Amino acid sequence: MRIFIINLHGLVKGSGLEIGRDADNGGQTKYVFELAEYLSQHDDVTHVHLFTRKIKDPEVSREYGATIEEINPKFDIRRIEFGGFDYKMKEELWVHLDEFVENTLKHIDEYDISPDWIHSHYGDAGYAAARLSVRLNIPFAHTGHSLGLAKKQKMLAAGMTEEEAENKFKFTQRISAEENALALSEFIVTSTYLEIADWEHYNNYDKAQFHVQPPGIDVAKFSPYYIKAFKDDEDYLQLQRRYWVGQNIEKFLTNPNKPVILALSRPDRRKNLHFLIEAYGEDKELQALANLAIFAGIRKDINTMPNQEKEVLTELLLLMDKYDLYGKMAIPKRHDIENEVALIYQYCADKRGVFANICLHENFGLTTIEAGGTGLPVVITKNGGPSEIVPRMKNGLLVDPMDKADITRSIKKILANEEKWRRFSDNGIINTKKHYSWDAHIEVYISWVQESISRSEPKTAKELNAPKEHIKHLKESKSLIITDIDGTLIAPEHGDPGIDDLKSYLQNRPKGISFALSSGRNFDLVKEVVDDYKLDVDFIVCSVGTQIYYDTDLNSKDEDWSAYLDFKWDREKIVKALKPLKWLELQEENAQNKHKISYYCDPEKYNEERIKNRLGNDWYHINVISSHNRFVDILPKRASKGNAILYLCHKWGLQLNKVYACGDSGNDMDMFREPINGIVVGNASEELSHLRTRKKLYVAKEFAAAGILEGLEHFKLK
């Protein structure tokens, strides 16, 4: 596999990552670089190319101007020019992303490095990956890191106006890019199940598949504090670094032999560092037990820093003065982020200290794991990812970040109890290696990628039980017309307008156009329509996207698609979990299939939230489709009409912008994803009216098949 990883903003190079330099150079940069590096070490990966922005600016290192930087024989950084050469913050780059896409395509051609897989990080890269995926017909995955909708809500709650928020953060483009990533990616990667909930507010949430996979850490670097042996010159250097880390902290302290309470983060108000100092400053017992060390980014002169960081650091120093913490509190100006962070944890663990992260909300909490790997117990915010990590790691205590008593009480519980300290320390070391190593992360990730790629490989005619000519036609196709049946292709109540003309068009259609049906009907009922109307179809997507066939023969089923739907799907477990809901009654056997559970429902008692509560985390791996609150279908998350189209396009080399999807009701909405061309027939239900402003959607005046023909003429396919 040749893998492209896209990370467009910030500063990325092979050594000396500038983590903490500004808001664009945080944990994401480190995570992406390490992901690429460890992927390149996997036997099944031939090359990893990390695509980012080329920068030639006297304010930053000349290294960021190199087109190609080789990290190892299988991993390099590829820098693409877009938006000029000056270093810019991510919000300034949105208007230049199409330039990145075009220049990347030229770079791919020039260096002959066509990818097998693409992975984007953050919304700007998601925008680019979606377009590259369409142009190259290559599947992609996406990691959000942080989300535009959530940030917009926070900015508005903080007093910003809609206009101010839009001007500063470009939320319209960002949220649109995130919607596209949901609709078009193979899957979205999140670090925790809690993160999935942040995506629920997006319109395309139901179209996405989520994989939960925590980041890995370098367990060799974040090793137990008591491993101090050295063998060669490199280890002597580490010994020197360890000494200077200690000196950097101890020069602030009157009694450096006491345990150390450590905080390490960017100088950001949300990290709540000021609250930690207040809690420490107001508790004389805690001051007697331990010193406090705060690493808040890197600074030379506070007056020259961005306003927000300047305000935070000034407040920290003023609080140090307010509580007279001189000799008890260290606040070093700098540290080597690449080489010294692990040593800082190890120093504090050796002092029998505690790591404290009481930020208001932590998306994941990588520092929880880093501290755990070195054997440093933690006191961590209960808001966000740590609430899933700490119960698994068993390496510390969760606290309310706005409760000083809870924070100080929890820190003292660990510092004053040697047995508890040792148990948390040992658990962190053991469980970090067990659950959060990069090796474990990469093995799981590669299995997802291989599954996605392998299912998209065209099979032979024999394997599909279809004629050779049929398979040859599919491989040569350049466009796809796919239509719903009831109300779209046929409308007996209106006299089936246009059906004969459409059949004539299909029989004489230009070479390279495939025709498919997509319906909620099961296979037998679709076959009836095909036989009754004498239709020549290339694909049949039936039972609400849970099955794909290549002919009206049951043996022509696409087994790869069925296998793909098996992920996290346990039919018996779901049926058993929902059995106590007496207002759901299983439908007859002929309404069911392996990947479809169909219920009759009492409309007065229908409650999707109760279904969600019964299924727990399994909820994130299913789709619930309700019709009039009387019928409920439960499907694997991957099963839908729209996802079936994505699958067919990747499998047969069809570009999404050459797909023409036709529908008449809300059940067809899943097919109308940009850049797919949509045709809404004239007799469509009102529930599709909100789509009328979409650029790539045509609303016909004619009904049923006549409307399909009208739409094809509009798109110049007829």
621 contacts 574 by C-beta, under 8 angstroms = no
CATH 3.40.50.1000 domain residues, the chain: 459-565+639-714
CATH topology for 571-636? Hypothetical Protein Ta0175; Chain: A, domain 2 (3.90.1070)
Is 80 exceeded by the pLDDT of residue 248? yes
Higher-pLDDT residue of 582 and 302 is 582
The H or E element spanning position 373 is helix 366-374
**Model pLDDT, residue 534:** 95
Is 90 exceeded by the pLDDT of residue 413? yes
Confidence of residue 376 (pLDDT cuts 50, 70, 90): very high
CATH 3.40.50.2000 domain residues, the chain: 2-212, 233-436
Residue type, position 629, single letter: N
Residue type, position 590, single letter: N
CB burial of 415-426 (b: ≥16 within 10 Å; e: otherwise) equals beeeeebeebbe
Strands laid side by side in the 547-549 sheet: 547-549, 539-542, 513-518, 479-483, 659-663, 677-680, 697-699
Per-residue pLDDT of 677-691, as tens digits, reads: 999 999 998 888 888
Is 60 exceeded by the pLDDT of residue 232? no
Per-residue pLDDT of 597-622, as tens digits, reads: 999 999 999 998 999 999 998 999 99
Is 70 exceeded by the pLDDT of residue 337? no
Is 90 exceeded by the pLDDT of residue 507? yes
Confidence of residue 486 (pLDDT cuts 50, 70, 90): very high
Is 70 exceeded by the pLDDT of residue 336? no
The H or E element spanning position 413 is helix 404-415
In CATH, which superfamily holds the domain spanning 233-436? Glycogen Phosphorylase B; (3.40.50.2000)
Q: What sign does the dihedral 458-459-465-469 (CA atoms) show?
A: positive
Per-residue pLDDT of 11-25, as tens digits, reads: 999 988 888 788 898
- CATH architecture of residue range(s) 2-212: 3-Layer(aba) Sandwich (3.40)
Is 90 exceeded by the pLDDT of residue 470? no
- Supply the pTM of this predicted model: 0.84
Per-residue pLDDT of 288-333, as tens digits, reads: 999 999 998 777 778 777 788 889 999 999 999 999 999 999 999 8
Residues paired with residue 697 on neighbouring β-strands, in sequence order:
678
**Model pLDDT, residue 84:** 97
Mean pLDDT confidence for 452-465: 78
List the CATH code of the domain at 459-565+639-714: 3.40.50.1000
CATH 3.90.1070.10 domain residues, the chain: 571-636
SS3 content of the chain, % helix, strand, coil (to 5): 45, 20, 35
Is 80 exceeded by the pLDDT of residue 629? no
